[in-house]
Amino acid sequence: MRSLKRVFSVLVFVVLTNAYGRGGDIIGNGGGLVESNFVHAYSQLSKIIKGCIKQSFCVEDPQERKDLIKIKNGALANAQNIKRLIFASEKSHPGLFYTHDVDKVRLAVTGLKADSPIYVNLDLLYKDENGREVPAMEYGEIVAILVHEAGHNVGLKNHTYLDYLGSLVRRFIETSVKTDRIQLNKVEFSLSFFKYFSQDKIADFWISWNEQEENISEYLYSKYSCEDGTKPTGIQYENYHQERLIQLEDVDVIPVNVWAKMICSDGVLTFTEYLDVKANLVYEKSTQDYSISLYFERF
């Protein structure tokens, strides 16, 4: 007999120093949605490239595969060194994003050493859309940019070639990542799913807003055990849907629901358990703070 439903909950309340702006620094770690996506992509770059390399449709040429493996290994070594990723403004620091071989302002620059910082141009991350500042690039483009810069960090110099390698990984990621943007009051939440073609992998599901990010997959893995007490070997997501805005006296809430397919194994047999995962996007009116609340139950 399967055990009764177990419900776990966590409230993640985050006070934002600037509830209405992205709060990016002139030089520093940045504070907006695009910056959060850069940080996430940087930390996951080796995993993303590895996923690409494993798919025959992603890269076929042996030399390209060899160079992507080199970039993957370099990215893996630096995955936790987020301080290498620096957001800066070309307007405030003229010449920072010019290189001698390309006569234009670049979106990102770095050096040819493994520990060279990667500078990202704050001026090009957002665009005006009907008087509202919105992201100027999607996750796949961010990944391609980081592949290019990480390629320089392992000694590759040719910009055109690195752009091409980045486009290969971008094509892979755009078939593997689904991103949904939800506007709550004046803040945009980004919900992203990174699926794998193999069932025995833990797919990523993360929510970003302003400078905050919550990795739902990491939370589920840390809190959930299969019926036999083991940890799941894979997580996949299905049936994602957003509900209507709920306006209460003190808060506005947008509920988001998704099923998590937990792949479990007792060493001999593989079996599946399903979770109903709920993420509430919350705006607290009295403090103008934004947060998310998470919980799940087995069904």
pLDDT in tens, 16-66: 223 223 333 444 444 688 998 899 899 889 989 988 898 778 899 999 999
pLDDT at 267 over 90: no
Q: How far is CA 243 from CA 66, 248, 258, 277, in A?
A: 45, 15, 11, 13
CB 271 within 8 A of CB 234: no
Mean pLDDT of 200-209: 84
User: What distance in Å separates the CA atoms of residue 8 and residue 295, rounded to the nearest whole number?
Assistant: 6
Q: What is the mean pLDDT of the chain?
A: 85
Weakest mean pLDDT among 4-13, 56-65, 217-226, 283-292: 4-13
User: What distance in Å separates the CA atoms of residue 97 and residue 109, rounded to the nearest whole number?
Assistant: 6
pLDDT at 156 over 90: yes
User: What distance in Å separates the CA atoms of residue 195 and residue 258, rounded to the nearest whole number?
Assistant: 14
Residue-wise pLDDT tens digits, 68-91:
999 999 999 998 888 899 999 999
Mean pLDDT of 167-195: 89
User: What distance in Å separates the CA atoms of residue 4 and residue 165, rounded to the nearest whole number?
Assistant: 49
User: What distance in Å separates the CA atoms of residue 51 and residue 47, rounded to the nearest whole number?
Assistant: 6
CB 209 within 8 A of CB 189: yes
Where do the structural domains in the chain lie, given as residue ranges? Answer: 1-20+186-299, 22-177
User: What distance in Å separates the CA atoms of residue 205 and residue 176, rounded to the nearest whole number?
Assistant: 12
Q: How far is CA 36 from CA 8, 87, 245, in A?
A: 27, 11, 25
Mean pLDDT of 242-259: 95
* CATH placement of domain 22-177: 3.40.390
Which pLDDT does position 132 carry in this prediction? 83
Q: Could you write out the DSSP letters of every residue in the chain?
A: -PPPP-EEEEEEEE--SSTTS----SEES--SHHHHHHHHHHHHHHHHHHHHHHSTTT---HHHHHHHHHHHHHHHHTTT-GGGEEEE-TTTSTTTT-BTTB-S--SEE--SSTT--EEEEGGGSEEEETTEEEESS-HHHHHHHHHHHHHHHTT---HHHHHHHHHHHHHHHHHHEEEEEEEETTEEEEEEEE--SSTTSB-EEEEEETTEEEEHHHHHHHH---TTSPPPSEEEEEEEEE---EE-SSEEEEEEEEEEEEEEE-SS-EEEEEEEEEEEEEEETTTTEEEEEEEEEE-
pLDDT at 197 over 70: no
